[in-house]
Structure 1
Amino acid sequence: MKKRILFVDDEPNILKGLQRSLRPLRKFWDMVFAEGGDNALKLLEKQSFDVIVTDMRMPGMDGAQLLKIVQDKYPMMVRIVLSGHFDREMIMKSVKSAHQYLSKPCEKQLLITTITRSCSLRDLLNKKALQQLLGGIGTMPSIPSLYARIMEELNSSDASVVSVGEIISEDIGMTAKVLQLVNSSFFGMPKHISNAKEAVILLGIDLVKTLVLGIEVFSKFSKSVLSIISVDKIHDHCVRTAVIVQKIAKLENMDKEKTDNAMIASMLHDLGKLILAEHFQDSYKDVIKMVQQKGIPVFKAEKEIFDVTHAEVGAYLLGLWGLPENIIEGIAFHHNPGKFIGQGFELCGLLHVAELLEHQERQQPGSSQKFNGLDEAYMERLGLLDHIPLWQDYLQRDYNE
């Protein structure tokens, strides 16, 4: 079935240019071009769309106002901003209602890729069950504001670690949490870190982005789900898993980009639990009860109750936020990496093992026994089954130092 895309801009020439350049995609997309926010809303009342791509600075109803209405009335639509490089003020207004941001002038292929990837998430992740489930949520959470600001800074021509540190320093709570994590035994810093700028310099931009996104995502949900699951325990598990991922990646000589993406996937791999627990509290209580009574993993209980798991829900949301594809895939398949089509030791496999190692270390410190839930066929196919005892030994020595 063709995807339906709504493009909104107040300048007819821009709309005509988009229509002309995207004409070859007509066999894949049904595209409608609306002049201004009011006309867009009239179209939305009559037709359904999968994606809306809107300019920000428009007379009358601007893009931020339009996206807020779309978020409230049509929460399952993918919401993409296509606006000028210097619309910082407008971008900040839309932080909570937009999934992704593209700057004008935008390369045709980037626009096509962004829309295609957003749409393909529905096909990647248990289409029917996932859409039915998420269709019951009033609004999907949008990308956290502090992370959006840091990404905006990094995309600027004069980005620096100092400026990123200054952004974090503006938020007292975020500064405290980053410093708490940086100075914990997880990171093994040789000295005490006392300010956000120093933390950014020592840890590096990519790791700080991971920490900020993880912290802000977890703080977003903490109050609403506290009565059902322990947000602090989930967050600690994700941080510990990220550290284990980093250590295994080092042992296996993985490149920096793959390691950084694996750490981001680790920090966010349980995000779906928070979404499910917040929006379906009674049903998630049934999940917890089933886990306790049957002694089965959480994701299997979720599958029985919701017909989807937290891995799929989290991957879907992060895909809308525009995170790299291998992060999405890593989270989506981290419980069953053997089902992923990749041939190598991909993020899903790395995260799969690291999470199980974290569970083992927390429940049976110092144990080198096999652990339940390991996809042995997957690990054996890759020739990595005999690497696990080496990883366990390395991690144990590292913990004891």
Structure 2
Amino acid sequence: MSDQTDGNDETTDAATAPSESVPRPTVLFVDDEPFILDGLRRTLRHRRNLWNMEFIEGGKAALDRIAAGPFDVIVSDMRMPDVDGAAVLEAAATEHPESLRYILTGYADKEYLLRALGPAQRFFAKPCDAAEIAASIEKALTLRTMLPTEALRELMGRLKSVPVPSDTYYALLQQLDSPTASAKSVGAVLEEDLGLTTQILRLSNSAYFGLPKRLTRAQEAVEMLGMESIRALLTVAEFFLLTPLSSALADECKKLAERSMRIGGYARKFAQRHGMDPDIVTHAATAGLLSHIGSLVLQVNEPNSYARAMRYLDQHDTSVGAVERAMFGATHSELSAYLVAVWGFADPVVEAIAFHHHPAKAGPPERGALCAVHVAQAMAGADTGGEDAALFVHHGHEPVLDWDYLDALGLGDPLRAELGQAQEDG
């Protein structure tokens, strides 16, 4: 049973209504308890002219709605008697991979929680504040509007080879379905693929991550870096290092993999050094690792055009983004963010990838993953020896760092001091 709120109430605040030329996003709320849905409907009434909201009773009805057509966001309860929330979000991820998928779960739902780790992009603990859910949805939708979605879809339609998660990746998600999932069991799945295990351990043990000890087993890598970063390393290993390519293109992909590792490692160190929360540290490392997956996709699919774009960049006073947009319709950052969003990585990861060259475009400055990746890409872009030497380097005829953004966060002076110390030591 689905109940749609159409937003035509006379008391709607017209000042908050979107432009008629901009379609309102469709947001689905799924729960088996009618009174929960009624409460959400009342609490979110003020958004009825901003969103098309549908309130769906039960998991089976949700599956029917998912099959019926597209939507932008789905928020589902976990425990439902007919079809549970994990199954609902799995169907949403399969049928509409670009959708935003949130789950509501209680502390007693641990076995269900593990099953939702793949398709769910954010978890809310019950009882939860509807205003918090609405704010999260609004932020995520705003992020999506900042990306040139239609241009990216057109670009994706032209590409012949687009990376998709591997069988090993899906085996990892299946392992997470088990209520006894652990670093040991996830590591065991990884170790069934010797090539991937070797690559992941090599990448994990690189100097960029600065781990306190050398890792020798996949289980240790999962324990030290966390599942999200392992997913990112899996992506780097498969698409940058293990994809069959011509020798020339393989060399370029290895260079991109090296750059991605440096960005991920520097982002992790920067976030740790400045006391950011562990979740932010993980998001920063993950975003850094995946920030150039779009570059790989462009090189693999249109190597001649990509090479021509880079030659043009070297010869003209313009930016990487401007050249890529003119050549392909979107930038490597936007394409990377689009792919990572479809694969279900967290919104802070998507945001950090999309705007790591121009963080001010994402909104008010925050000490988060975006800030860390912005600094890390400058460090990784240094042609000289030390990582801090990149802080004033220009790449592609544009400033690498947005000092106004960093100063607003109180990070500009510490970075300048670090640069000065590095120059004295050097």
Amino acid at match of 1:70: E
Amino acid at match of 1:145: Y
Distance 1:190 1:79, change over 3 A: closer
Q: Residues 150-196 of structure 1, C-alpha deviation per residue, up to 9 Å, x if partnerless?
A: 8778xx7x876545544544543443223223444445567653223
SS in 2 for 1:242: helix
1:269 aligns with 2:291: yes
Equivalent residue for 1:387? Answer: 415
CA distance in 2, matches of 1:161, 1:69: 26
1:353 aligns with 2:353: no
Equivalent residue for 1:364? Answer: 384
Q: Residues 333-384 of structure 1, C-alpha deviation per residue, up to 9 Å, x if partnerless?
A: 2112343433455543432232222222xx3335947411323543566562
Tell me the number of residue pairs that the alignment of Structure 1 and Structure 2 aligns: 370
CA distance in 2, matches of 1:190, 1:87: 34
TM-score (ref. length: structure 2)? 0.65
Amino acid at match of 1:23: R
Distance 1:210 1:311, change over 3 A: same
CA distance in 1, matches of 2:294, 2:356: 13
CA distance in 2, matches of 1:392, 1:288: 36
Q: Residues 274-294 of structure 1, C-alpha deviation per residue, up to 9 Å, x if partnerless?
A: 45556xx23x64233111233
Equivalent residue for 1:124? Answer: 146
Distance 1:14 1:299, change over 3 A: same
CA distance in 1, matches of 2:129, 2:164: 28
Confirm or deny: 8 A CA contact 2:309 2:323 kept in the other structure.
yes
1:216 aligns with 2:234: yes
1:40 aligns with 2:62: no
CA distance in 2, matches of 1:141, 1:251: 34
Equivalent residue for 2:400? Answer: 374
Amino acid at match of 1:40: R
Amino acid at match of 1:258: I
Confirm or deny: 8 A CA contact 2:93 2:99 kept in the other structure.
no
Equivalent residue for 1:301? Answer: 323
Report which stretch shifted further, 347-356 or 260-269: 347-356
Uncovered stretches (5+) of structure 1, i.e. residues with no partner? none
SS in 1 for 2:27: strand
SS in 2 for 1:212: helix
CA distance in 2, matches of 1:395, 1:249: 22
Equivalent residue for 1:233? Answer: 255
Amino acid at match of 1:329: E
Confirm or deny: 8 A CA contact 1:4 1:51 kept in the other structure.
yes
Confirm or deny: 8 A CA contact 2:98 2:342 kept in the other structure.
no
Tell me how large the CA RMSD over aligned residues is: 4.7
CA distance in 1, matches of 2:212, 2:403: 40
Amino acid at match of 1:387: L
TM-score (ref. length: structure 1)? 0.69
CA distance in 1, matches of 2:274, 2:419: 10
Equivalent residue for 2:307? Answer: 288
Q: Residues 37-88 of structure 1, C-alpha deviation per residue, up to 9 Å, x if partnerless?
A: 77436733xxx433456789649xx7589547624xxx54446677976458
Amino acid at match of 2:358: N
CA distance in 2, matches of 1:199, 1:91: 22
CA distance in 2, matches of 1:103, 1:353: 31
Uncovered stretches (5+) of structure 2, i.e. residues with no partner? 1-22
**Cα offset for 1:14?**
1.4
CA distance in 1, matches of 2:354, 2:334: 5
CA distance in 2, matches of 1:310, 1:176: 28
Amino acid at match of 1:287: Y
CA distance in 1, matches of 2:368, 2:101: 29
Amino acid at match of 1:331: I
CA distance in 2, matches of 1:65, 1:163: 22
Equivalent residue for 1:193? Answer: 215
What is the aligned counterpart of 2:53 among 31, 35, 41? Answer: 31
CA distance in 1, matches of 2:256, 2:295: 9
SS in 1 for 2:285: helix
SS in 1 for 2:216: coil
Amino acid at match of 1:374: V
Q: Residues 205-241 of structure 1, C-alpha deviation per residue, up to 9 Å, x if partnerless?
A: xx24354122222345357684557333222211112
Distance 1:121 1:106, change over 3 A: farther
Confirm or deny: 8 A CA contact 1:118 1:319 kept in the other structure.
no
Equivalent residue for 1:4? Answer: 26
1:181 aligns with 2:203: yes
Confirm or deny: 8 A CA contact 2:209 2:268 kept in the other structure.
no
CA distance in 2, matches of 1:198, 1:105: 32
